[in-house]
Amino acid sequence: MLSHSLQYVVFVVMVFALYWAVHRHYWPRMLLLLTASLMVYVSFLQVPLLAFVGGMPPGALIVKLVPLFIFLAGVTVDHLLVKGMGRTERPGLRKLLVVLSIVSNLGLLAGFKYLELLRRTVSSLLGPWGVEVRPEPFHLLLPVGLSFFVFQAISYTVDVYRGKASSEHSFVEHLLYMLFFPRVVSGPIVRASELMAHFREVPTLSSDDGNKALFRIAVGLVKKLVIADVLGSGIVDPVFGSPHAYSSAECAVAAVAYTLELYYDFSGYSDIAIGVASLFGFKFPENFARPYLAKNLFEFWNRWHMSLSSWLRDYLYIPLGGNRRSKPRVCFNLMMVMVLGGLWHGADWRFAVWGAVHGVALCGVRCWWWFRGKQQEPGPVRVGLGMLATFTLVVLTRVVFRAPDMAHAGEFYARMLAGIPGLANVGPLMWSMLAIAIIAHAVPMKVYDLAALTFLKMPAPARAVVLVLLGLGIRQLSTLETRPYVYLQF
């Protein structure tokens, strides 16, 4: 049940109506949200609704639901460890419980997501020496959104240990924190103190907040269905699918288009998640802040997928020592964070390569600042060059993200650098969409704020007309098929 589909819109409307009918009563609203969240999660397991009333053989249904059972078991273990941590005053035991929680979560992630990568790697390394390694893949059923859930669980456990979150939450609250349907699979990553603390409060929703939420959802739908999907189907998919059939210039345009597609796809998802959460009285953190206007790579990572970047900073970079150690150690910390952050996106060494390139670039920027000093207010020329260099690095490294493997990425790079001119395959629609994507990203935020304020001040019938016209426009411009979110594969 993708959040840009008509089914999801109908689903949210129904849950919204039921939720605000029972919102004053704790257990009815919690059970409603948990039921809705489980329904959304199960939809990603591709289990037909009729399966629950006899439409699927019991054996097949159990296999389909194995990832859900694994997830529920993991949450149960984590909940028991967190509760135990909160009930003891013994520092040694508290530390042991937090270590067990982290190890169990990372072990679950490593076993289901990275075991196959380890098998292939060991096989490729030892095979030439005559050492036989298991030749068959493990075929493990990966729970949907496992990486995201593990990050949520670790942040909750560590925050309880640090005293930044309470352990006095019921299993239902813990489970809902992990599964809350507006951001069930891809975030934003919400800290326990930002969400669980509000479960027991009676929610409120003003007219202005509701209209702002609808506007935010509409913006997210435009980003996803109009900009991201049109760029993806119109130029990104064809060129990356057969780079040898296109000129160097067209490959370069496709690389830029994919960079824009990825931003509008994921930021559109985040806008919808933030808007839907607002409709139920919850506030999610922002996830993007016009990252392609960053003047350096550090600023880029402070603007891109901010909930993930802040997680890596707070739960990996700072515990490793952050900036407080020697210069070589700081560079080591940066490399560790970026390589592991790269592998988090997928069980493939190309993601580690992508992270390592960003790590080397970040170390380069840091060394430059150590050598020359960090300029607080750079001039316009330096700002422009910094933005261009940062964006170029991001575009070039994103090729590794989009390619199915390093060999394909190498083929794409070779074609892009071959110097073959020509842009015959880039039509007017693609040029227009690229221009819209760049302009929409570059305009000041106050323009969006003004548009939102104008929408709020409209009479209710006028707002309804705007939303209907917007829906018709999206239907006209967007692709006929419903394309899944790009980031779901990571």
Q: Are 75 and 177 in contact (CB under 8 A)?
A: no
Residue 403, both tokens? 């390619």
**Which residues form the catalytic set?**
345
Q: Are 219 and 271 in contact (CB under 8 A)?
A: yes
In whole angstroms, give the CA distance from residue 5 to residue 291: 27
**Phi, psi angle pair for 330, to nearest 5°:** -60, -45
Q: Are 329 and 318 in contact (CB under 8 A)?
A: no
In whole angstroms, give the CA distance from residue 389 to residue 373: 19
In whole angstroms, give the CA distance from residue 284 to residue 180: 11
Task: Determine how many CB atoms are found less than 10 A away from the CB of residue 109.
Answer: 22
Tokens 């496992």 correspond to what residue?
146
In whole angstroms, give the CA distance from residue 200 to residue 29: 10
DSSP assignment of 149-190 equals: HHHHHHHHHHHHHHTSS-S---HHHHHHHHH-GGGTTT----
Tokens 């790269």 correspond to what residue?
342
Tokens 């700072």 correspond to what residue?
318
Residue 142, both tokens? 């990966």
- Closest C-alpha among 316, 283, 79, 82 to residue 188: 283
- Closest C-alpha among 309, 312, 318 to residue 291: 309
Q: Are 42 and 315 in contact (CB under 8 A)?
A: no
Q: Are 229 and 484 in contact (CB under 8 A)?
A: no
